[in-house]
Amino acid sequence: MNKLYFGDCLDVLKKLHNDYPQGFIDLVYIDPPFNSKRNYNILFESADLKDTKAQKEAFADTWSNISYKDTLDELKDLDLDLFRFLENLDIIRISKSAVAYLTTMAIRIYYIHKVLKDTGSFYLHCDPTMSHYLKIVCDLIFDNKNFRNEIIWRYRKWPSGNRQFQRNHDCILFFSKTGSNDRVFNKVDLMDRTASTLKRFGNQKIVSGYDEFGNRLPSEMKDETSEGVARDDTWDIGRVPPVKQLFPTQKPEALLSRIIRASTNEGDLVADFFCGCGTTVTAAEQLKRKWIGVDISHLAIGLIERRLKDGYGDEVRKKYEIDGLPKDLASAIQLAQGVEFGRLKFQDWVIETMIGGIHNPKKTADGGWDGYITFDYGGKKEIALIEVKSGKVNVNNMREFIHVVSKQKADLGVFVCFAKQVTKPMLLAAKEEGYYHKDDWRDKFDKIQILTVEALLNGENIRIPQTQTSTFKTAEEKDDGIDNQKLFE
Ligand SMILES: C[S@@+](CC[C@H](N)C(=O)[O-])C[C@H]1O[C@@H](n2cnc3c(N)ncnc32)[C@H](O)[C@@H]1O
């Protein structure tokens, strides 16, 4: 059964390694973020909140904020060479955040190596700011004799920067777990013969055993030269145009399709541990491979589900399981109690997955607001603030929230808690705030709405005018290359 995991891939990898110590995956592709996960959600935000700039700054938490020393200690016991390499990075001119990033990646790649079959392949998608360091990390984990290719994915984007050449490529490092003769490598998407070859030999089969440069051809290529020559390691594939993007860093399906067809056969298992909006997952489904997708963001998991449904209809839901998202009251309570992922994750689940909003990057104690959702009304963005309570609440919490809604000049307020916490005084306080209502509407909507977790699990949601919410508006184009420079600041 295919599987989508919501959570940190390190937890998932450790669990999978524990369950299948011999390795069981045929192909792993990863496209990890260059910065922390949190930056991804804000890119979907289109609300015109007054403090958007401040929010964006708050979101820009870099890897330097993450305590990586514990991970480094953990690696010391797992792989001493890797530990020494990372530890010594501290003494060259590379920022702390870059070392933290590499350490964070190293432990995950260590476990990816473990969950691969001996015949398995690994593709690491990165860019030139980090690829040389990541190559060493992979050399140490996979052994450099198992390095297969550095694939250059070349694309075009809006020109930027005029004092250097445009940065128009990403790197994909390709390793095999072992040198096993049984590993799959299919020669896919052969290239056309060059003009000079065609001029010399026409379209006839080349039997000389030499290419147009006079180099001896490897024996397995001789038969193929009539169809074209083996694909090389520079790939020209267009990026997903911004208007078609579901996700700011979405990769083209053609890219994933080539990787999957080259390194697996039908029925094999493909995994992506940073799967974003699920390009690997949908390409694998299309190519009749089994798949595993993991992402730490609820938003990503929601998008993948939508993408699979749009592509393969309702039936596809029977072909995969989701791990990590509460589906019933008991698991919602567990999440709220921080059993699995911590209390703030409960808020994210309510706000992003269940309501479809954006969480407030400034995590505040009581007296603030936890998230918001926007909706269009007459060309204007209207805002509903969301407050989520995982534990005990009383009428004072409700009054505080009412005060915040009024101070922020929000159009609506939604207070979420478990049903057994709702009291009569709370209902009364909410009712006293009246309606969100425009003169040309027949309908009225409570200005302060109490939404229980139970109701959310039953498919109910915030009551707003029936226009499409705008929170998930298509993300804008972003120049990754420039951003990654920040790692060295
Ligand atoms: C560059 S995007 C991947 C885009 C993807 N290739 C696609 O085509 O949509 C990186 C993803 O990694 C996720 N992520 C970040 N840290 C993670 C972690 N520790 N575990 C799992 N996913 C993580 C982010 O939420 C984001 O969706």
161: buried, middle or exposed (CB in 10 Å: 19+, 13-18, 0-12)?
Answer: exposed
Is residue 238 pLDDT above 90, yes or no?
yes
User: Is residue 476 assigned to a domain?
Assistant: no
What per-residue confidence (pLDDT) applies to 476? Answer: 34
CA of 435 to the centre of ligand 1 (A): 40
* Mean pLDDT for the stretch of residues 436-458: 86
User: What is the atom index within ligand 1 of the atom nearest the CA of 125?
Assistant: 6
Q: How far is the CA of 248 from the centre of ligand 1 (A)?
A: 11
Let me know whether 161 and 280 are in one domain.
Answer: yes
Q: Considering the domain boundaries, does residue 119 fall inside one?
A: yes
**Is there an atom of ligand 1 within 6 Å of 31 CB?**
yes
41 lines ligand 1 (CB under 6 A): no
pTM of the predicted protein model: 0.71
Both 33 and 54 in a single domain? yes
Does the C-beta of 63 come closer than 6 Å to ligand 1? no
Name residue 434's amino acid.
G
Would you say the CB of residue 124 lies under 6 angstroms from ligand 1?
Answer: no
What is the position in ligand 1's atom list of the atom closest to the CA of 37? 15
* Cα 32 to ligand 1 centre (Å): 5
Q: What is the pLDDT of residues 296-354, one digit of tens each?
A: 876 788 889 889 999 999 899 999 998 877 778 887 887 888 754 455 678 888 998 88
Question: 367 — alpha (psi -120 to 50), left (phi > 0) or beta?
Answer: left
What is the Å distance from ligand 1's center to 36 Cα? 9
Query: Does 462 map to a domain?
Result: no
Residues 109 and 15 in one domain: yes
Which protein residue has the closest C-alpha to ligand 1 atom 27? 276
pLDDT of res. 432? 95
Q: Bridge partners of 210? A: 216
Cα 318 to middle of ligand 1, angstroms: 24
Q: Is residue 387 part of a domain?
A: yes
In a domain? residue 162: yes
Number of domains observed in the structure of the chain: 3
Give the CA radius of gyration of the chain. Answer: 26
Q: What is the pLDDT of residues 179-232, one digit of tens each?
A: 999 999 999 999 877 666 666 666 555 444 555 454 555 555 544 455 678 899
Judgement on whether residues 255 and 341 belong to the same structural domain of the protein? no
- Are residues 25 and 40 both part of a single domain? yes
The CATH number covering residue 362 comes to 3.40.1350.10
Best mutation site among 274, 277, 479 for ligand 1 pocket (most ligand atoms within 8 Å of CB): 274
Q: What's 113's domain CATH number?
A: 3.40.50.150
Residues 205 and 183 in one domain: no
Average model confidence (pLDDT) across the chain: 81
Q: Which of 295, 323, 345 to mutate to test the pocket of ligand 1 (most atoms within 8 A of CB)?
A: 295
Distance from the alpha carbon of residue 300 to the mean position of ligand 1, in angstroms: 8
Best residue among 8, 11, 37 to mutate for probing ligand 1's pocket (most ligand atoms within 8 Å of CB) is: 37
In the chain, helix, strand, coil percent, each to 5? 40, 20, 40
CA max distance for the chain: 90
Domain enclosing residue 98, as ranges: 2-189+241-325
Residue bearing the bigger pLDDT, 206 or 149: 149
Q: How confident is the model at residue 402 (pLDDT cuts 50, 70, 90)?
A: very high
Compute how many other C-beta atoms are within 10 angstroms of the C-beta atom of residue 181. 6
Q: Is the pLDDT of residue 442 over 90?
A: no
